[in-house]
Structure 1
Amino acid sequence: MATTQQDYFGTEAQISVLRRGRALFDLTDTDPRMTYYGRSVGLADADAQAMDRLAALIALQGNSALGAVEDGDISHWQAEAQRRNLTITHYARWLGTQEATQTARTLLDLHPLPQDLTVIRVDRDAPAEAMAQLADVSLACGVLPPSGAVLRGVRKPGIGLVALDQTGKGVACAGAASYWHPDHPKGQRQCWWGMLATLPERRGQRLALILGAMAVIEMQERYGFTEVFTGVTPGNAASEAVCARLGLRAEGTNVLAFTDPHQLPGGRMTK
């Protein structure tokens, strides 16, 4: 008998947020103002009513986010978060256009996967163990995997990649998924990309670069996305270097994630 796929990983509190996010997405997936990529439902754009809507989303889920905030507006949202006793995490948006796909192909030609590794695409037909190995790598590096139904491309366009060694152990991973509603101006062309994680013993082998390049190409070939974006904590030099190697550039906007620390101890969804 086939093993049932597990869709949620992390701590009990994280899993609760992921479940609530998925349930809310099932209710709001026709609303182009909303974003979702397998963690929590957020707002695509910041307008005059955004904070009140965010507060409602946070009350329901424990976490939510604004998808694109200008650099000059960050202090305003930080003050709003403090006023409402919410924690806020700032990620600078790095964007890759068609150039990133071309760069990804070149990098894969230059840097082949080590011979002792096999990359598995965690799709709807992949064994449950593949998803578990992807989650193990991601969580070991402090990165919360989005919902498995998204990474497997079941609930919306998405992919998960995991590199397995000869014993079947996951050692590196990457992921990507649609982010905006299809009717949003960015919805048909731009997707979220990231979840690059490598176990300490395999670092220095360019695995994040290789799997990241594979994910960029896969999202274009499979779903037609010509742009990818990711959020990088300012000052995270390693992540910034990988993004730059793949042709992504900091675009001057930011993802701001808001969390109710009472619902999610630690005050943030993921690294």
Structure 2
Amino acid sequence: MDRRMDEVFGTEPQQALLRRGRAFHDLTRHDTRYTYYGRTVGLASAQDGDIDELHDLTVLQGNSHYATVSDDALPALRDNALARGLSVAHYARWTGGAEAFDAARAILDRHRLPKGLTPVTITPDSPPETVLKLAQVSLACGVLPPSGAVLRGLIKPAVAIVALDERGQPAACAAAAGFLHPDHPDGASTCWWGMLATRPERRGQRLALILGAMAMLDMTARHGFTHVFTGVEPGNTPSEAICTRMGLARDGTSVFGVADARQLPGGRMTR
């Protein structure tokens, strides 16, 4: 068995969730309605499956989502999901096109990683220890990394970068990946971008900003994506500030996430 295809991270329930998501992606990867970027399989929008299907996906995997819903639709969806005994989270969608890539180029023109930090891009052949270091810094900030098969680019177009210090210890990370089916109308143009995480002792050095810009530009250079989106929990002002600096803006939609707390203690997959 190729161990790279089974790299998962986090607590035991989180690892089990990532494995279920990977397995279900294998079954649904030819269906344009579904999304996957290394965590669990969801529906691209509420038009791609009703609340009954979203409920079934959640019970099957432990977590699922609508990748795009109108903000106006959130209250009714929330009430319906809670009535079914599911936990609910929503993340405001921040999106960007050419202006975001221009901002990324400007950031890298002005800023470099501090001396002693080296950016390392995860590849299919990266040692497991390197992938684990990226996962460690992400988890230390409460962000569940996608499965290693996605971080390595083995099953989705992806870029994952970790900054290592002189001792080989991780300081910060960022990632991006395709999430829609390639035949979806936006599948070849729009990717997920995020997982910006920095160890507390290294904050204030623009590490997330720099690595985020690197990941964004690598995604367009390597894979041709021209638009990005990320989900930010309302009130997370540091993340909102980075999105604004990166040329992203709110678009009036959200990611609607649901979880089965019996399989996922706390009812949340990630921050």
Shorter-chain TM range is over 0.9
Aligned to 2:40: 40
Are 2:18 and 1:14 aligned?
no
Distance 1:229 1:26 in 2: 24
8 Å CA contact 2:35–2:42 kept in 1: the answer is: yes
Moved over 3 A (4+): 3-6
Scaled by the length of structure 1, the TM-score of the pair is 0.97
8 Å CA contact 1:159–1:177 kept in 2: the answer is: yes
8 Å CA contact 1:161–1:174 kept in 2: the answer is: yes
Alignment of structure 1 residues 17-28 onto 2, 5 Å: 17-28=17-28
Alignment of structure 1 residues 211-222 onto 2, 5 Å: 211-222=211-222
**Does the residue aligned with 1:47 lie in a helix, a strand or coil?**
helix
Aligned to 2:178: 178
Aligned to 1:169: 169
**Does the residue aligned with 1:252 lie in a helix, a strand or coil?**
strand
Letter of the aligned partner of 1:121 in structure 2? T
8 Å CA contact 2:10–2:139 kept in 1: the answer is: yes
Q: Structure 2, unaligned stretches of length 5 or more?
A: none
1:48 deviates by 8.4
Distance 2:209 2:108 in 1: 9
1:99 deviates by 1.3
Letter of the aligned partner of 2:160 in structure 1? G
1:45 deviates by 1.3
Aligned to 1:197: 197
Change (3 A) 1:266 1:224: same
Alignment of structure 1 residues 1-271 onto 2, 5 Å: 5=4, 7-47=7-47, 49-271=49-271
8 Å CA contact 2:39–2:147 kept in 1: the answer is: yes
**Does the residue aligned with 2:90 lie in a helix, a strand or coil?**
strand
Aligned residue pairs total 269
1:168 deviates by 0.1
1:201 deviates by 0.5
1:42 deviates by 0.0
8 Å CA contact 2:21–2:61 kept in 1: the answer is: yes
8 Å CA contact 1:4–1:128 kept in 2: the answer is: no
Distance 1:108 1:159 in 2: 17
Distance 2:127 2:82 in 1: 44
Distance 1:47 1:104 in 2: 33
Q: Structure 1, unaligned stretches of length 5 or more?
A: none
Deviation per residue, 1:1-45 (Å, 9 max, x gap): xx9546100000000010000000000000000000000000001
Q: Percent identity?
A: 57
Distance 1:150 1:81 in 2: 29
Letter of the aligned partner of 1:130 in structure 2? T
Letter of the aligned partner of 1:161 in structure 2? I
1:47 deviates by 2.8
Distance 1:54 1:123 in 2: 33
Deviation per residue, 1:82-139 (Å, 9 max, x gap): 1101011110000010111111011011111111100000111212111011011000
**Does the residue aligned with 2:242 lie in a helix, a strand or coil?**
helix
8 Å CA contact 1:124–1:153 kept in 2: the answer is: yes
Distance 1:61 1:149 in 2: 18
1:49 deviates by 4.5
8 Å CA contact 1:40–1:61 kept in 2: the answer is: yes
Change (3 A) 1:126 1:235: same
